[in-house]
Amino acid sequence: METNAASATSNQTHQHQFHQTPPQPYHKHHGLLHSNSVFAIIIATTSLIALLAIFFIVLILRRLKSAKKNANWQRGNTSYDKSINVAQNPAIYNCSPDVKGGCLSGGNLGRGSLEAANGSNKRHGRGVQVFTYKELEAATEGFSERNVLGSGGYGVVYKGVLSDGTVAAIKMLHWQGKQGERAFRIEVDLLSRLHSPYLVDLLGYCADQNHRLLILEYMPHGTLKHHLHPSHSHSQHRPLDWGTRLAIALDCARALEFLHEHAVPSVIHRDFKCTNILLDSNFRAKVSDFGLAKMVSDKVNGQILTRVLGTTGYLAPEYASTGKLTTKSDVYSYGIILLELLTGRVPVDSKRPPGEHVLVSWALPRLTNREKVLEMVDPALKGHCSKKELIQVAAIAAMCVQAEADYRPLMTDVAQSLIPLAKNHSISSSNSLRFQNNAVSPRC
């Protein structure tokens, strides 16, 4: 009995001690795990914040770098000697405007200033604007005949003064149907996005009901055609001197270089000719009229298959016969312009003797013969130009008008070839130095 009682007492004491003693090792291990979890969460959160901070810093630096490049690009626009560097910054565009409810819209093109969407027009201190028909009617004095600058199949161009005093060329399009609407939309789209000192600036447009008008930079000396092939109404124009012709050739080459090799996607003008080359107050050339232009993003197997449109005498043979359009088609048209600058002749002239009706057919065999080159030169240039320079320009023209497109050069190569020739002549803003002067250059 006493033994059993002692044993029971011993068991109770042992059980009491077991319940009273806390499991110290277990609680210690649990606290350690909790501390490690918190520490891991803190490290993960800190790392995430650091990564986000690095990402935003990189993003800000890239934007600052891009803004700096754009600022340099804009500064380069104002210098003739450095303007070739403008093309290093590609122009990117992805959409075309649509006409809805009588007003051009689409993307960021709409009523009011388009400066934020399309880049500001630094020359005029504003972006592309939308005008009403009444505003343009007032600017041209009711589209008066005395304000007509020129006309053609596309419509009529008027000289106008906008409400802020800006003198502008107001182009009223007469094309009807889908082709006319397409030409209008393309020209607004391209000129509002492409900015180069070698392209005519688009100041604004009007899509009021059925009216389609373009408001363009005013070029005081009109088209190159007026000076090379003056009609009776422009008979007061004196022949351009050789130095001015070289400068015009270089400006045109740089315009096509910009369109072909620095715009993204590339642009084919498709109607490059004398009447679409305009001259400013200093006789610097700019290219206009992009209604027939094509973007190279539309090409298949390196070529664009399209309807043959353009002007007889300027069309590349492969394009005229098959409708296959490439940038080399513009190079051919440029070669025709060089021939016009050299010879003073129009591309097609049925009044010429047999064998001389088509300029390129008559000129091509003579371009590589030094003596015959001198014979084919514009009579207005004889005695006032360098024989060496004539031969060099003739060689460039011969390459551009090759029947095989692959043999024609890139416009970058053409521009680089013309730069040293153009720089041999002083570029002056004085009109008196823009015409024939016996002391201009060595006799040819």
Contacts of 203 (CB under 8 A, 6+ apart): 121, 124, 126, 128, 129, 162, 166, 168, 215, 216, 217
Same domain flag for 368 and 234: yes
Question: Is residue 111 a part of any domain in this protein?
Answer: yes
Number of domains in the chain: 2
Domain end residue (candidates: 217, 234, 254)? 217
Question: Is residue 31 a part of any domain in this protein?
Answer: no
Phi–psi pair at 190, nearest 5 degrees: -70, -50
Helix (H, G, I), strand (E, B) or coil at 271: coil
Same domain flag for 129 and 271: no
Same domain flag for 157 and 257: no
Same domain flag for 112 and 198: yes
Same domain flag for 247 and 371: yes
Q: Reply yes or no on whether 378 is catalytic.
A: no
Same domain flag for 145 and 272: no
What's the Cα-to-Cα distance from 58 to each of 54, 55, 64, 89, 197, rounded to whole Å? Answer: 6, 5, 10, 22, 33
Domain end residue (candidates: 217, 238, 263)? 217
Same domain flag for 244 and 361: yes
Residue among 294, 256, 265, 290 nearest 90 (CA):
265
- Identify the CATH number of the domain in which residue 181 sits: 3.30.200.20
Question: Is residue 393 a part of any domain in this protein?
Answer: yes
Q: Provide the whole-model pTM.
A: 0.70
Same domain flag for 289 and 229: yes
Question: Is residue 361 a part of any domain in this protein?
Answer: yes
What's the Cα-to-Cα distance from 411 to each of 126, 368, 406, rounded to whole Å? Answer: 31, 20, 13
Question: Is residue 169 a part of any domain in this protein?
Answer: yes
Question: pLDDT of the chain along its 444 residues, tens only?
Answer: 444 544 444 544 444 444 444 545 544 455 555 666 777 788 878 877 887 778 778 777 766 665 554 444 344 433 333 333 333 344 444 333 433 333 443 333 333 333 333 333 444 445 789 999 999 999 999 999 999 998 876 789 999 999 999 999 999 987 666 777 888 998 999 999 999 999 999 999 999 888 999 999 999 999 999 999 987 655 566 789 999 999 999 999 999 999 999 998 899 999 999 999 999 999 999 999 998 899 886 555 556 767 788 888 999 999 999 888 999 999 999 999 999 999 999 999 999 999 999 999 999 999 989 889 999 999 999 878 889 999 999 999 999 999 999 999 999 999 999 999 998 875 443 444 444 444 444 556
Question: Is residue 404 a part of any domain in this protein?
Answer: yes
Question: Is residue 83 a part of any domain in this protein?
Answer: no
Domain end residue (candidates: 217, 238, 267)? 217
Domain that holds residue 173: 94-217
Contacts of 93 (CB under 8 A, 6+ apart): 189, 190, 193, 194, 264
Phi–psi pair at 309, nearest 5 degrees: -130, 150
Measured CA to CA, the distance from residue 288 to residue 298 in angstroms comes to: 22
Same domain flag for 242 and 309: yes
Residue 433: burial class (beta carbons within 10 Å; 0-12, 13-18, 19+) = middle
257 residue type, one letter: E
Contacts of 195 (CB under 8 A, 6+ apart): 77, 91, 119, 121, 201
Phi–psi pair at 381, nearest 5 degrees: -95, -20
Question: Is residue 335 a part of any domain in this protein?
Answer: yes
Q: Please give the pLDDT value at position 234.
A: 55
Same domain flag for 235 and 211: no
Measured CA to CA, the distance from residue 340 to residue 275 in angstroms comes to: 12
Same domain flag for 397 and 273: yes
Q: Please give the pLDDT value at position 74.
A: 42
- Identify the CATH number of the domain in which residue 382 sits: 1.10.510.10
Q: Angle CA(405)–CA(245)–CA(373) in degrees, nearest 5?
A: 65
Q: Please give the pLDDT value at position 66.
A: 54
Same domain flag for 265 and 363: yes
Q: Which of 271, 289, 330, 378 is catalytic?
A: 271
